[in-house]
Structure 1
Amino acid sequence: MKKNYKILGFTFLIEEQKIHNTLNELDFLSTPQSQEFNLDEDLLQFKLDNETTIDIGWYPSFDANGRFVVQRIKNSDWENPEKYIEVKWDKSLLLEALKSVMN
């Protein structure tokens, strides 16, 4: 059964499951420096299906000069992501990257 989840202000239809999402807590109207302590490797993670995981993290953690890493992981092969996109501090680019890895 699918459920609507709001991520970055956009609604995604995702299989009902446990979803980790602290990404929505970030304030993109301010700077990464002002939110440095919220920027870690575990911002968003959910499964599209039994084999596919979507993951967004900030690298390096707690470093305002870092970037978002958006990944599509197949069969738990974290060493070889199926899709991998790096995004600077820009909500619209991050949303586009998320949509891209979900397709």
Structure 2
Amino acid sequence: MANKLNITPLADRVIVKPAPAEEKTKGGIIIPDTAKEKPQKGTVVAAGPGKKDEPTTVKPGDTVLYGKYAGTEISFDGEDYLIMRESDILAIVPE
């Protein structure tokens, strides 16, 4: 998270920086661009305050897993991000 994101999500929204897609399989086979899977893991860059009775549980810096088609893709300062509801996040990955 070298750059500072100047976007503040509202309510229970979260902005996630997706992890890069896998370039090789564990066996060493190079995956072409057309066959790459969408990443389902990323790092939380910004999180909203939450709803009235439900504060947000994730915080910036958390590594999370989310659904394959979760969120909306946005581009800001040449970087790609996903903005999604906190309920679209499936798990927090311990580091």
Query: Normalising by the residue count of structure 2, what TM-score does the alignment of the two structures yield?
Result: 0.25
Query: Normalising by the residue count of structure 1, what TM-score does the alignment of the two structures yield?
Result: 0.24
Instruction: Name whichever structure is richer in helix by fraction.
Output: 1
Larger RCO (CA under 8 A, 6+ residues apart): 2
Larger Rg: 2
